[in-house]
Structure 1
């Protein structure tokens, strides 16, 4: 026996083969082993896994991620008490010794910076929304605002990581990958999980990086990772055939490669080989499906107008929102849009105005477009960032200009569609939007609620990794936010 075959068969190969069999046992409600051959095809599951509860209200998710940390005080959580407290110190009883970032730790004071933006009540629900979001304000009766969200991390990278993957530690599977693994796909010609990174945004300072691990598959099979679509050129890298290779030639090449990979898979049982076969076949099918999917010229003028003037500019939030609607209409299971530039340590009023201009009309358009197509009831929209901002100013404070630091203790996220109760404001914070005073919601609870709306029990959805049963919501308790469910 060759040394490589020995290692694959008796060493590392045996370990990954055992992992593959564990996945097969976990995914089957009866514990029956799935055949190796069945794992080579990325098709929807024929049996309901043990973690599905049969009460799914949503089939798909569009997750709008505002990277940088939007200021809840200036958008959704007005604090009129602070209007008469300009430049006064935040009471020590409110801060209560809570940690601050290194950027603020050197300040001798924590001066209060009241929001300069007006808030008004909207809709039958009377939801209070900032003047910065006039378009979103018109659809508040479709939205559930969760004002008591909190997280464990105070810096961007771990905070984004825990919101996207359930853990501050990098390398864990993302929520989109968990959904793909948990309930499979709806369209065999498109990925289950697509990521759209906005290439254009108004804020040009303190722009935090995004990493592929935020939409990665972690220890789950690699076929569940998010597939990024590019804003310009070929939507998916390396999807096009090179010059001189037509579709017929590509098919013959794939057939030969598949046969060789199948032989290798039967010999050593490495599940990554099965993933490779499935991904190559998916890529071949995507050569036909993706160009049609991303062609916005098929959309009538009145539909494009819903998303605002930037809808025809690739890489903008508006363009990506219309793409997301087309994707869920084609039964893509999970679409995640990342919009950067929300980290406003200084010059917040100007920068926040620009960021809201990027997303305001498109968010409204997405809700209305899905609703008029009968898709809103079965499509869950989630909006939020990794944490909130402080009521106290960071840096120089004037009557019309201020900055705010990171604040993990409370922020606002919102959801719409997909079985969510519209016209709801859930949870409360204190007079300074500094501490949660009613109905705290951890970011784990947000993830548990998303899974619940898809018919998944977050306590049961797990995958064996390094001797542990890993879960999106981790080992600590997480709760579905039932009061916002229709």
Structure 2
């Protein structure tokens, strides 16, 4: 069709108007959503809104805890030749397993309290990952891959969903380890810095006691009003630098972190305080008892954080690397976490929070069925156990299976990429759509892999 000059100008003028309107609308939208931590809509209806990850640093032995292997018991002491374990002897578990709950899940006697919550547990016995070394496996559990810096699971969740309380961090990690990747396990990498985790720890890198707090949010020398004036001046300098430089994630993250730090002063101490909890609650979590006090307090604070709107909370219990002293050290570790973890599930359920909160327990890999020395187990990435509770998973379900000795996952296999994809799906996030463009391509937590395990979802 032939268009004369006048008709062409009349027609294209409308297009210019639409372009201008689109630009103004985009500016207005950006202004309305200025807070990057504001709640965001998920990709689809979520089953969970919050996550509490009980991270067992060191690789708990699955064949002594949640993966019952009667043949390993009956063949205790026999030679085992598979892979690098030629000449080693099988080591039957020193602990008995029994059916627990109405579901009849087999759980070790090391977890008498968690056994009482069996009908809320979804035990994954077909877990597997790529490398049986702590640094690589621990980073992969948190960040999807270990070869290059990547955002952590908590950062991806916060990036995708935002948080429900602007006065608290959306992602908190309690007593994270300084090794096996250190801060990278709660870092944001190429995501804006505002999505990285906030560390809470006491004296020493792995300690958490009465002194545990977030650093630098208290100021005993200035009133709140004086701090606000000082911060306003500082932020004016930061925003001036931002205006001159243009978009800059580092400056933007700094501005947001300062504002969040100021707001946290009023609310975080209340969440961290357990003194106002009833004696019944403290006793239920094992707080006040030497063996369970630390982890009990961490679990209680995790519950309080979720209740206050924090999106993702991670609690780390170290020292599960039992190459030797398995009987004493594994028993001590299980005793330290059993009662608090069980209390956390029961407490969340009683408060109506478990249905919206996904609780996860596990470490970076499992242990070998063959003995290391007389009383230890080596690393095993080919098959191990983790469990989930609440947040849209089927309770009372044991999913997946390792071989007769517990060495390799053979049924219901769940790779760490599948685990990540499933966690995101429970939160209403499509792992293939939750991306950030970096280094010329769309990056995601699951890299180019990952399948949602729908069989464990309600």
TM-score with structure 1 setting the length: 0.84
1:409 aligns with 2:401: no
Inter-partner Cα distance in structure 2 for 1:314 and 1:175: 27
Q: Over residues 287-338 of structure 1, what are the superposed CA-to-partner deviations in whole Å (9 max), with x where a residue is unaligned?
A: 1111111110121111222211447999811110000000000010000011
Deviations 1:377-415 (A, max 9, x none): 0000011100000000112x2xxxx20000000000000
Please say which of residues 112-121 and 207-216 is displaced more in the overlay: 207-216
Q: Describe the SS at the equivalent of 1:317.
A: helix
- 2: CA distance, partners of 1:147 / 1:314: 26
- 1:246 is displaced (CA, Å) by 2.1
After superposition, residues 97-246 of structure 1 pair within 5 angstroms as: 97=83, 100=84, 109-197=87-175, 211-230=182-201, 231=208, 232-233=210-211, 235-241=213-219, 243-246=220-223
Q: For the structure 1 residues 340 and 255, does the alpha-carbon distance in structure 2 shift closer, same or farther, using more than 3 Å as the test?
A: same
Contact 1:194 1:335 in 2 (8 A): yes
Aligned ranges for residues 286-325 of structure 1 at < 5 Å? 286-310=264-288, 316-325=294-303
* Residue 263 (structure 1) aligns with: 240
Structure 1 counterpart of 2:452: 480
Which of 262, 265, 272 aligns to 1:284? It is 262
Q: Separation in 1 of the partners of 2:255 and 2:292?
A: 32
Confirm or deny that 1:449 pairs with 2:422: yes
Q: Partner residue of 1:250?
A: 227
The answer to whether 1:384 aligns with 2:362 is yes
Instruction: Give 1:394's match in structure 2, choosing from 336, 361, 372.
Output: 372
Question: Alignment length, in residue pairs?
Answer: 426
- For the 8 Å contact 1:239–1:283, the answer to whether it is kept is yes
Whether the aligned pair in 2 keeps the contact of 1:161 and 1:170 (CA below 8 Å) is no
- Structure 1 residues 116 and 208 mapped into 2: Cα distance closer, same or farther (>3 Å)? farther
SS in 1 for 2:79: coil
CA contact (8 A) 2:282 2:288 kept: no
Write the distance in 2 (CA, Å) between the matches of 1:253 and 1:314.
43
| Inter-CA distance 138–45: structure 2 relative to 1 (3 Å threshold) | closer
Hey, what's the Cα distance between the residues in 2 that align with 1:132 and 1:165? 30
1:44 and 2:21 matched: no
- Runs of 4+ aligned residues of structure 1 deviating over 6 Å after TM superposition are 33-36, 311-315
Give the 3 Å change call, closer, same or farther, for CA 314–247 of structure 1 in structure 2.
Answer: farther
Deviation at 1:85, TM superposition (A): 1.9
Partner of residue 202, structure 1: none
Whether 2:70 is the aligned partner of 1:88: answer no
**CA 1:443–1:32: 2 relative to 1, 3 Å:** farther
Runs of 5+ in structure 1 lacking a partner?
1-30, 200-206
Q: Check conservation: 2:292, 2:336, Cα contact below 8 A.
A: no
Displacement of 1:361 after TM fit?
Answer: 0.3
1:70 corresponds to which residue?
Answer: 60
Separation of aligned partners in 1, 2:289 and 2:303: 12
Contact 2:287 2:293 in 1 (8 A): no
Structure 2, unmatched stretches of 5+, are 1-24, 202-207
